Structure 1
Amino acid sequence: MGTVSHAAEFRDFNRYYTQRIGLLTDRYMGADRPLSESRVLFEIGSGADVRDLRARLELDSGYLSRLLRSLEGQGLITVRAADGDRRIRTAALTPAGDAALADMNSRATDVADDLLSALDQPQQDRLIDAMAQVRRLLRLAGIDVAVAEATSAPARACLSAFADEMRARVPEGYDDGELVDADELTAPRGALLIATEHGRAVGCAALRRLDDDGVGEVRHMWVRSDARGIGLGHRLLREVELHAAAMGMHALRLGTNSALREALAMYRTRGYVEIPPYDGDIHVHHAFEKALRTG
């Protein structure tokens, strides 16, 4: 958890930023609608499934319905049942909506240009780099990591994606039969952790007990390609370590393939020490171990 001072700094930044870019008025960017409606208009863009829209913006269904009705009442969007499946509703911009979106984008660009113009080029570069870092970290903080049933649909999808990536990247190939059995990833023998973002699985890591002496093993680390580069692999590994310690394990082992260079770098960064191979897995070119803090 963050410290009290970190929380205070975080809140202070939010107050400053929201005021500085004009989010506190009901006329966002000087237009005739508030930020909430403007953001929904932007997200609809060239068309959107209402369910996807709700998940992407993490809005209550009733609140989103009210926003959509308001935008419909302004003549900016239409909401219709999808062709072939009336349970699915899609939202689309009208010509007036297209014009309103173009105007909003123009206003937003003007505000950004005005703010940036007060800084010289090196200062602008530092600000943009810092904003990119903030976005990556906020995205990482917003991802949920939790234990899942090893036989559930999200679990099967993650493990299948892991196997597909192994087939594509390691020279030895990979067979689904090499995946750890579900019963080994179920308490008290182990666990499967899944990372979820907006209701979609974006990563996983498996933990299984190797012996009764408190040694565990990390298996099947996988991060979806569009969720890489934000630190999710490190977070998954940290969560596995915490879970292993809570299960009474005092050390973790893992193995990886030479082709997975980013995995090798991550394990070394997180304090894993290379050891001789501890099993006959043909995919393991490098084996590691790390002592865990317990108690």
Structure 2
Amino acid sequence: MVPSLVERVRRFNRTVTQRVGALDEAYLARGRPLGQCRVLWEIGEGGSEVRALRARLDLDSGYLSRLLTALRADGLVEVVPAGDGRVRTVRLTPAGVAERDELDRRSDDLAAGILAPLDEAQRDRLVAAMGEVERLLVASMVRVAPTDPDQPEARACLDAYAAELAARFDTGFDPARSNPTDGMLLLVATLHAEAVGCGALRVRDSYAEVKRMWVAPSVRGLGLGRRLLTELEAAAAGRGVRLLRLETNDSLTEAVALYRSAGYREVAPFNDEPYAHHWFEKEI
């Protein structure tokens, strides 16, 4: 990594943590640190499963347990078992709801205080920049890893892939009619422990095929499709493959644009995929 880029990220982090009050022992003058306040806000008035809360905030289970213990001691939350007892749910008490409302009010005041010294043009620039930074930070939190197709997160992606194609294709989509996926390398992308994308690679004798490319609507626009494609290309190269091929459907205009922009050129059909209108290949 370029040292100058690392230093700029660190400088940005120092500025932000100071400006938003993350360094204060009592965040927003409420007598508790930022971590406890964020957990209180994230629980929400409807409550949350503890494991879902841990996943959303990417927290270690022991640290989250200590945060919840402190909030319980203050009478702000209650943790109760649900179902068979292995799942726990955390809820705000009435005092917790009142504290969350007060945190919301003070957070609004903090945000307004950040914007107040700036003129209108500067405010627009800051808010736009914040939106871009947020999108890029979310993109940086996505993890991509090889996954057994029988794992729940893999099945969730492949099922969502099939459901979307069935809805978008004029003829519907039946996975049983499509070329099989046996023996393929499957990459699954996760964000906060939720599966949000996938892509697969089938190695042939003289080339490899890219298959089952899908990105969840909630994370589209973050460049995840290109990242999955790039990692599949790297996996193919690592296996000594020098030619990649793929096919796609007319209705998947985003996919067609992605492949063309990534250097794939349209070629004559090389398989009998019943749902394909375009066939592409790329030398790597």
TM-score where L is the length of structure 1 = 0.91
The alpha carbon displacement at 1:56 in A equals: 1.2
Q: CA RMSD in A?
A: 1.5
Q: 2: CA distance between counterparts of 1:150 and 1:95?
A: 44
Amino acid at match of 1:39: R
Taking the TM superposition and a 5 Å limit, the aligned residue runs for 1:88-167 are 88-167=87-166
Q: 1: CA distance between counterparts of 2:76 and 2:85?
A: 22
Specify the alignment match of 2:77 in structure 1.
77
- Tell me if 1:202 matches 2:201: no
Q: Is the 8 A contact 1:160 1:176 kept in 2?
A: no
Cα pair distance change 1:278/1:131, threshold 3 Å: same
Identity %: 48
Taking the TM superposition and a 5 Å limit, the aligned residue runs for 1:240-255 are 240-255=232-247
How many residue pairs end up in the alignment? 283
Unaligned runs of 5+ in 2: none
- Tell me if 1:192 matches 2:186: yes
Specify the alignment match of 2:214 in structure 1.
222
Amino acid at match of 1:225: P
SS of corresponding position for 1:183: coil
The alpha carbon displacement at 1:271 in A equals: 1.5
Superposed structure 1 runs of 4+ greater than 4 Å apart: none
Write out per-residue CA displacement over residues 192-226 of structure 1, whole angstroms, 9 at most, x where no aligned residue.
1111122221111011123x22x111111011121
- Tell me if 1:171 matches 2:170: yes
Q: 1: CA distance between counterparts of 2:182 and 2:168?
A: 27
Q: Is the 8 A contact 1:148 1:155 kept in 2?
A: yes
Specify the alignment match of 2:250 in structure 1.
258
Q: Is the 8 A contact 1:205 1:236 kept in 2?
A: yes
- Tell me if 1:15 matches 2:7: no
Q: 2: CA distance between counterparts of 1:72 and 1:93?
A: 9
TM-score where L is the length of structure 2 = 0.95
SS of corresponding position for 1:177: coil
Q: 1: CA distance between counterparts of 2:48 and 2:107?
A: 22
